[in-house]
Structure 1
Amino acid sequence: MAKKKMGLEDLGGFFFSTDKDFDPEHSKDEEQDEVLAPKDQLLEAHYSSKGRAGKKVTVVKGFVGPEEDLNALGRDLKKKCGVGGSVKDGEIIIQGDVRDKVMSYLRELGYKVKRIGG
């Protein structure tokens, strides 16, 4: 029977930092959940059909904040555009080429929006 190789996670994990004020209890994961005001965020509205069997979608990237807020924003965008979609990997994916509607709604909410591609 083969022995299982030990990894760093088997050792209980450890931190190494040259920063004398480093606190492992407050890692980068928690820093990403800080809430930025909409006026301080720059979102990107992409148009894509790659990897989706030719289906066209609008992808919103660049949101900074908690996952719950991202899900709520995605839900609002889907309702506003009257289409389906999902939220995956920090991106809001809206079915169809509704980039203009998405951009205008995000601007109403106070976000800065940049049109990326075509």
Structure 2
Amino acid sequence: MAKKKLNSLSDLGGFVFSTNEQEDFSAYSEGSSENIDPKDQQLEAHFSNKGRGGKTVTIVSGFQGKESDLKTLAKLLKTKCGVGGSVKDGEIIIQGNYRDKIMSILQKEGYSVKRVGG
């Protein structure tokens, strides 16, 4: 399994270390815990079969918000498509090539969706 490349310190999961006992850590909290309006988010729908033994999947990336909201959205997509899937690394992975159907579902929910790839 390939390791994910870290581009910044925030990719480490928000770990903050300080020897100052009076440090106020509330300033370091991530803004992703806020609820962001669906129309303000730009999601991308990808089709992929790489690294999955030839199995095709549809990947939805670009979601900003709470992990619980991401899982709720994934459950909605899996239910509407009638297939399985998962949430990994901030992306929704849906089994099968359902990119067009997922795009229409997300647009009905108010998200801005862009088709990426062929």
For normalisation by structure 1, the TM-score amounts to: 0.79
Q: Secondary structure at the match of 1:43?
A: strand
* 1:36-66, Cα deviation, whole Å (9 max, x unpaired): 1000000000000011011000000000110
Moved over 3 A (4+): none
Name the counterpart of 1:116: 116
Structure 1 segment 28-47 matched on structure 2, within 5 A? 28-29=29-30, 31-47=31-47
Query: Is residue 2:78 matched to residue 1:74?
Result: no
Name the counterpart of 1:48: 48
Unaligned residue ranges in structure 1 (runs of 5+): 1-11, 16-21
Q: Secondary structure at the match of 1:25?
A: helix
Q: Distance in 1 between matches of 2:17 and 2:85?
A: 38
Q: Distance in 1 between matches of 2:51 and 2:33?
A: 29
Name the counterpart of 1:6: none
Letter in 2 for 1:36: I
Name the counterpart of 1:7: none
Q: Distance in 2 between matches of 1:28 and 1:102?
A: 32
1:23 Cα deviation after fit: 4.9
1:24 Cα deviation after fit: 2.5
Letter in 2 for 1:97: N
Q: Distance in 2 between matches of 1:104 and 1:115?
A: 11
1:25 Cα deviation after fit: 2.0
1:26 Cα deviation after fit: 3.0
Identity of aligned residues (%): 58
Q: How many residues align?
A: 101
Q: CA RMSD in A?
A: 2.0
Structure 1 segment 1-118 matched on structure 2, within 5 A? 13-14=17-18, 23-29=24-30, 31-118=31-118
Structure number with bigger Rg: 1
Q: Distance in 2 between matches of 1:82 and 1:64?
A: 25
Unaligned residue ranges in structure 2 (runs of 5+): 1-15
1:28 Cα deviation after fit: 4.0
